[in-house]
Every structure is written in structure tokens, then in C-alpha cells.
Amino acid sequence: MYRIRLHGRGGQGMKTAGRILGSAFFLAGFEVQDAPRYGAERRGAPIFAYVRAGRTPILERGVISRPDLIIVADDHLLAMPGAGVLSGAQPQTAFLIHSHEKPSLWRERLNLQGPVFTLPGLPENELRFRGAACAGGAAALIPELNIDLLAEAVQEELAPLGPELVATNLGVARMAYASLAAHRGAVHEGGPVSAGEYTPPGWLTLACEEPLLSAPAIHAAATSELSQTGLWRTERPIIDGSRCNRCWWLCSTFCPEGAIQVDDERRPRIDYGHCKGCLVCLAQCPAHAISAVPEEEAAAQGETP
Amino acid sequence: MTRKLLTGNGAAAWGARLARIDYLPAFPITPQTEIIETLSNWIEGRELECRMVTMESEHSMLTAAGAAAVTGVRVFTATSSQGLLYATEMLYTVAGWRVPLVMVNVSRGLSSPITLEPDHNDVLAMRDCGFLQLHCATCQEVLDNLLIAYRLAEHPTVRLPVLVNLDGFYLSFTREPVLIPTQAEVDRFLPPFNPGSIRFRGGEPLSEGVAVLEGAAYSYFRYEAHLASLQGIRVYEELGQEFAGLFGRSYTALECYKSEDAEIVFVMIGSFATKAKEAVDRLREAGKKVGLVRPRLVRPFPAAALRGALAGKKGVAVIDQNLSPGKGGILHGELASALYGMAEAPPVLASFVGGLGGRDISSEEFFEIHKAVQRAVSEGVNPSPRLLYTEEELRGVRTMQSVARAADTKQGGGA
Ligand code: SF4
Ligand code: SF4
């Protein structure tokens, strides 16, 4: 059975990529199970999806713990332990990463043993097609899939978007497919866990603990500050100090995250550790002093938030 | 007939569409909303002739569903978790009206703490409300059982509402291949509703839910609802056979998987049961005589069938994806009462609680459950109930607790 896990952020099309792959496998005659996994739906937050494809009806369910292929739509996630991208990676697990960096760099940086492939980062205006790119790239690596199945799957999954967007997605998927076509067969099906030889789950017997500990309450103040929601951001708002006329700080008032503070000199300052990039501030600023820069570009220019 | 990838929610919507539902009162809640969205798109596109009404709460939604059912139209609705609980009063009330309707519940754990992920405490909290309960393990079963549910609810000796349960995420958002029968095929199994005597009309007086202020009359009506529910077992089996004749997929009150010659049997309900099947296959490869018995019907409870399927087994592991605080796994208690006093009752009836709030039960854990039951069988002692939990999970919770300063006796977060 093929077990594929896709990692991205809410809004980056990983559910769609999983569905395209699922459909391609289904069209190739496989039994398929695909599903997205997210908590409260939120744009920009790390999410994942998974696809299983086998020759007999699939009985496994839920999160894939030992993936044969890990697809990463956003290479920033690799640096976030909370995103769990590397979880359960086996020595033979293949990686497909949407990244400007070279595969060798990721192999070294993450100490990966299996094959690593990258999909050249899409230009900014095409980033929204990265789901199609990831599906196209993955299809190239799997011997039972081919370009026709991929095209049919894209058509089937994206038809509601209209013919124009289907065509663009298809173009992106085909390009990704072509770029990796030489590596056909690089992903191998894994086997099930053996009941004869396995690592026991490490059960423990829970003790009855005092309610102060065992009731679901947060006693500490401002714990949300510890959660770096700034990592969800895909667009970075930047205030141009020369244009900001320190109106009556509409940006700060409207920021739903409370991420804009006004400093002693009455200048608005964005807390990039928690700004989620919703750009409400940009829309509110009467002086048009706030612009949006793609996070990847801002990072590439070495601007540390 | 077409075979397509559908989510559990999509399968539920298809089931309702093919049942030619007339009336759909709705209120949104995750993870059920996609069912109503799908149906509303079809209604808007005139692919489904149905009256949909958005209500202000689940309590009103159930009231509307019951009131419509009294007029003899085919009613469908869906909810989940807190929504189901909010409708509790009307679930009991409407069941007492003895009119058919079908409701889907997409299982999701209950507050507190809040979760979006599944377990069976929501649906089992409605165990005693009078609705029949069908529990599905696959997306195909969701579609098929919706069709069967209408026949069951509308059956002249049953005439009770039916709840069809599917697990959030593991079925609701998971696509699997599903055979969608054609409308003509479905019409042969489930013809348009002939309500017979169920026909409340403005001009024809009818009082529903009347008061009976003395015990004998009250008891009579409650006993009758119970007896009608029990008839549901036979009726479900008959319908399952009829369904198999037309569609080739058979449904019985119990699914028995490799349990016939098994010495040790897993018992569980819902979609995690397919994980148990996977574990059964792996354990069989390792030479273990193990199987699975999965009740599809929880109400009425197929006690006789369970006695038959478990007679002579050496050990049974009941895996409950629910927890009744202060008692334990609900299914375990139900099964114990069904097996008590039976000559060939399995000597070991072990209880495992797991899968709460979407927590996974891994293959390795099924292997360990099997091992624990095997040990209990050879030692001749019934093991104490086990709450499935790992050291790694507790480490994760300890981290959360330290962030939350849960152990800090100076409460209020002052540093
Ligand atoms: S984009 Fe602007 S409004 Fe949105 S979170 Fe960031 S600072 Fe606040
Ligand atoms: S809304 Fe614009 S002008 Fe007003 S304080 Fe913010 S950045 Fe400056």
C-alpha cells in the first residue's frame, strides 16, 4: 500500500493535492482513502492531509504514522517541530519539497536517508497552484500513475472552478510532473506492521491526580503569547514610517490579533511573532502606509521580522 | 450505478437524496455541516425536490423534524455532539410520537474540554431516547444504511425515528470508494413513502404528545415503544437481506469478521472497527485465532445475536470509544448484561477504553490488547479495565500543564 502524507498550511491546497492524488490512484484501479486533517480551520496554520492507495479495500484509518512519501508544500514548515512533518519518517521514506533550495541541502540539513526531491518554488503569482504542483510531482514518482491519469484527476477535482483555472492548474501539474519524470518509481509501497514483531506502545496506568493538575484550566496569564502564530503568516504587513501620519491608530484598533502596539513616540509597531498576516491593518490604514510583502520574499531579503 | 470517491458526509447526503427526502430542517455544526451544504446545493440546483428550512437551534430543528414527520412526509436532519445534546429534550419527545424520521449524527467528543474530534459519548448519551441507532464503519455503509434506516423507521410495526451514526473525521471527512446506486435501483428498495395513518392535517384534529397523568397509561406507552424497538432487530435483518438481494451488499445486526473459529474476539462499534479488522488480519498472519464482532445496531441491542457469536469464546476484548465517568466503557457493561448467566459465556470479558476525542488506536495497541486478553485467559483472571494511554502521551500533557502552570499552587499566573 502507498501511504502518502502532505504537509502545508491552511489555504495552500494540500487537501486538493491529496484529492488529486487520491483520484489519480482511484482512476488507476486502486482502492483509495484520502482525508485532510485540521483543527479549527484557519488559514496559514499548519495542516496535513493523507492518501492511502492499495490493491484491496483499505482497513487502516486515520493519521499515517509511517509514510512512504512526505510532501511538503511550504519549506518553512520543516523548521517547525509542531508541524510534525518528519514524524514517523523511515529510512526509505521519500520527500518531495516545494522549495527554492536544492535537494542535497535538505538531505543534509534534516539528515534524511531516503530520496529527496524538490519542486522549484513557484513564482509569487502562481503560488496558489502549489497543490497542483505537488500532486503533479508526486504522480511522477509513482510508477502506477501517469500523465493521463494525473490530467483526468485534476479535471475531476477542479472542474467546479471552471475551465480556465482547470487549465492553469493542469499546466502547473504537468510541468511538475515533467520535472521529475526521470525519477519514476522512486517511491515504494510500504508494508503493514507485523503482529509478530513490533514495538509495544508503552502503555502506562494513569494515576488519579489532584484536580489543580487534572482539570483542564490554564492558570498562567497570556499563554497565547507562547504560540508563535506569526508562523502562520504568508503575507507580511510592513508600515512605511514616512507615510504613516499616526492617524488615530486605526491599524492597531482593528488588528484582530492585538499585534500592533503604539510605542512611546506614538508610532505603530507590528509584533511579527504574532501577526497572522490577515492584512486587516492594510485595508484600514487611511494613509495607505501599509504594504504587503510575501513572507518568502521578505525572508529571502534577509529581513528578520 | 457509479463508483466514486465520497466522504462520509457526501455518502450521507447521497443517501438522503436517493431516499427522496421531502423536508430538511437544519442547523450547522462541525463536522456535520458538509451534509447540509451538499443537500442545499442540490435543492438549489433542483436536483432534489425538498423543502429546506434553517432553524435557530438544534432543539427547534428536532421539533420541526418531528412536527413534519407527523404530517406523513419523509424527513431528514443531521447534527453532531453538542448539537445533539442541545436537542435532547426533543429527541425523547419526538420518539414518543411514534413517527418515522431519520437523523444522522456525526460523532464528536463532548465538552469539557472542547474538541472537534470524534468519540461516541455524544451518540451514546442518546442511547435511551427511543431512537433506533445504526452505527456505520465505512462510507458505503453510511449511504446504504440511510436507505435501510427509512425502511426501518417507516416499518408499520416499528414506526420509530432512526439515528444513523458516523464518526467525525475518520468517516465524515475521509473519502473512500462508494457505490452510488441509481435512483431507479433505490426506488425498488425504498419506494416513495406511503404514510398510511400518519397524516396530520389542519382540518383533521390530532393531539400528539398527550399528557397521561397516571402510571399505568404512561407505562403502557413506554413499554410499547420498547417492544417496537426490539422488533427492529428482526426487521433490520429482513431489510438487510432484501437489500443484499438487490445490491449485493448484505447488512446484519452484527458484523462478524473471522470470528467463527476465533478464540479471542474484539468487540467494538463504528469506523475504528476497520482498524480492528486490519489488526485481526495481521494477528492471523502471526498464527493467532482472533476475530471481530461489530454491532451495527446499538438500539435495539442485538443481545441474542451477540450471545450466539460469542458463545464458547475464550476471551473477549470490548473496546469502548466512550467513557461513562464513574463506571467505564458503556458497551462493556451492555455486553456483560447480555452474556450473564449464559452457559458458554466467555470466561474473560475485558474492558478497554480508547479513541476518546479522536485519539488513535494503533495496530500495536490492538496487538497488545490481544496479548493482554490471551494472558488473562491463561491465568483465568478477568483483567481490570484499561484506559489506553502511553508514556509519550503523558509527557505531552505534562508539557501543556507546565505551560498552563497547572501545578502552581499560587493560582492566577502571578510570577
Ligand atoms: S496583518 Fe495587520 S491586522 Fe492582521 S494580524 Fe498582522 S498586524 Fe494585525
Ligand atoms: S492606520 Fe496607517 S496611518 Fe494610522 S497609525 Fe496605522 S499605519 Fe499609521
**What are the CA-CA distances from residue B6 to residues A22, B101, B140 (Å)?**
11, 24, 9
Q: CA nearest B284 in A: which residue? A: A195
Quick: pLDDT tens for A196-227: 999 999 999 999 999 999 999 998 888 888 88
pLDDT given for residue B407 in this prediction: 75
Which of the residues B140, B170, B174, B400 would you substitute to probe the A interface, choosing the one with the greatest number of A C-beta atoms within 10 Å?
B174
Q: How far apart are CA A2 and CA B212, in angstroms?
A: 62
* Portion 283-312 of B in contact with A at CB < 8 A: 283, 285-286, 288
B406 to chain A, closest Cα gap in Å: 5
Quick: pLDDT tens for B321-352: 999 999 999 999 999 999 999 999 999 999 99
Q: What angle do CA A158, A163, A167 make, to 5 degrees?
A: 80
A151: how many CB neighbours lie within 10 A of its CB? Answer: 18
Residue A53, beta-bridge partner list: A2, A32
B211: how many CB neighbours lie within 10 A of its CB? Answer: 7
Quick: pLDDT tens for B193-214: 999 889 898 888 888 888 999 9
B239: how many CB neighbours lie within 10 A of its CB? Answer: 22
**pTM value?**
0.92
pLDDT given for residue A67 in this prediction: 98
Band of residue B415 on the pLDDT scale cut at 50, 70, 90: very low
pLDDT given for residue B414 in this prediction: 40
- Whether the CB of A91 is below 8 Å from some CB of chain B: the reply is no
**What are the CA-CA distances from residue A151 to residues A146, A155, A186 (Å)?**
9, 6, 21
Cell triple for A28: 488507476
Helix, strand, coil distribution of chain A in percent, nearest 5: 35, 20, 45
Band of residue B375 on the pLDDT scale cut at 50, 70, 90: very high
Residues of A in contact with B387 (CB under 8 A): 205-206
Closest Cβ–Cβ partner in B363, B387, B405 for A220: B405
Measured by CA distance, the residue closest to atom 2 of ligand 2 is A285
Provide mean pLDDT across the span B53-75.
97
Provide mean pLDDT across the span B182-187.
98
Closest CA to B239 of B121, B133, B148, B326: B148
* Portion 117-156 of A in contact with B at CB < 8 A: none
* Portion 215-244 of A in contact with B at CB < 8 A: 215-223, 226
Residues of B in contact with A220 (CB under 8 A): 403-405, 408, 413
CATH architecture assigned to B255-392: 3-Layer(aba) Sandwich (3.40)
A275 lines ligand 2 (CB under 6 A): no
Closest CA to A190 of A90, A118, A61: A90
Closest CA to B305 of B236, B207, B359: B236
Q: How far apart are CA A24 and CA A53, in angstroms?
A: 10
Render each residue's pLDDT in chain A as its tens digit; 305 residues.
999 999 998 888 999 999 999 999 999 999 999 999 876 656 778 889 999 999 999 999 999 999 999 999 999 899 888 789 999 999 999 999 999 999 999 999 999 999 999 998 788 778 889 999 999 999 999 999 999 999 999 999 999 999 999 999 999 999 999 999 999 999 999 999 999 999 999 999 999 999 999 999 998 888 888 888 888 888 899 999 999 999 989 999 999 999 999 999 999 999 999 999 999 999 999 999 999 998 878 876 655 54
Alpha-carbon A164 to chain mean position: 25
- Give domain limits for chain B: 2-197+209-247, 255-392
* Pocket residue to mutate for ligand 2, from A247, A252, A265, A288, most atoms within 8 A of Cβ: A247
In chain B, % of residues over pLDDT 90: 93
Counting every residue written for chain A, the total comes to 305
- Whether the CB of A34 is below 8 Å from some CB of chain B: the reply is yes
Chain A with chain B: Cβ pairs closer than 8 A: 133
- Indicate the pairing of strand B162-167 with strand B102-107: parallel
A255 lines ligand 1 (CB under 6 A): yes
Closest CA to A58 of B227, B37, B347, B174: B174
**What are the CA-CA distances from residue B165 to residues A246, B102, B329, B337, B364 (Å)?**
56, 11, 18, 23, 27
pLDDT given for residue B413 in this prediction: 41
Q: How far apart are CA B330 and CA B295, in angstroms?
A: 13
- Under DSSP, the state recorded for B204 is B
Residues of A in contact with B363 (CB under 8 A): 60, 192-193, 195, 198
Alpha-carbon B313 to chain mean position: 26
pLDDT given for residue A268 in this prediction: 96
Dihedral (Cα; A235, A237, A243, A247), 10-degree rounding: 140
Q: How far apart are CA B253 and CA A3, in angstroms?
A: 33
Determine the 3-state secondary structure of B172 from DSSP. Answer: coil
Q: CA nearest A157 in B: which residue? A: B5
Q: What is the CA radius of gyration of chain B?
A: 22
- Whether the CB of A182 is below 8 Å from some CB of chain B: the reply is no
Provide mean pLDDT across the span B164-188.
98
pLDDT given for residue A234 in this prediction: 82
B204 to chain A, closest Cα gap in Å: 48
Between chains, do B281 and A59 touch, taking CB under 8 Å as contact? yes
B325: how many CB neighbours lie within 10 A of its CB? Answer: 6
A183: how many CB neighbours lie within 10 A of its CB? Answer: 15
A259 lines ligand 1 (CB under 6 A): yes
A127 lines ligand 1 (CB under 6 A): no
Between chains, do B175 and A33 touch, taking CB under 8 Å as contact? yes
Provide mean pLDDT across the span B380-398.
97
Return the CATH number of the domain spanning residue range B2-197+209-247: 3.40.50.970
* Portion 173-202 of B in contact with A at CB < 8 A: 173-177
Backbone angles phi, psi at B299, to 5 degrees: -135, 120
Cell triple for B101: 424520521
- Whether the CB of B150 is below 8 Å from some CB of chain A: the reply is no
Domains B2-197+209-247 and B255-392 belong to one CATH topology: yes
Which of the residues A61, A204, A225 would you substitute to probe the B interface, choosing the one with the greatest number of B C-beta atoms within 10 Å?
A61
Which residue's C-alpha cell is 475464550? B314
Q: Which residues does B276 contact at the CB level (< 8 Å), separation at least 6?
A: B266, B268, B292, B294, B319, B366
Domains, chain A, ranges and CATH?
Answer: 2-192 (3.40.920.10), 227-300 (3.30.70.20)
Is-contact B69 B161, C-beta < 8 A?
yes
Which of the residues B139, B167, B258, B364 would you substitute to probe the A interface, choosing the one with the greatest number of A C-beta atoms within 10 Å?
B364
Dihedral (Cα; A128, A134, A140, A141), 10-degree rounding: 170
Q: How far apart are CA B255 and CA B263, in angstroms?
A: 17
Between chains, do B363 and A220 touch, taking CB under 8 Å as contact? no
Residue A47, beta-bridge partner list: A8
- Indicate the pairing of strand B2-7 with strand A290-294: unpaired
Strands (E), chain A: 2-9, 31-37, 46-54, 69-72, 94-98, 116-119, 235-239, 260-262, 268-270, 290-294
Q: CA nearest B138 in A: which residue? A: A59
Alpha-carbon A186 to chain mean position: 22
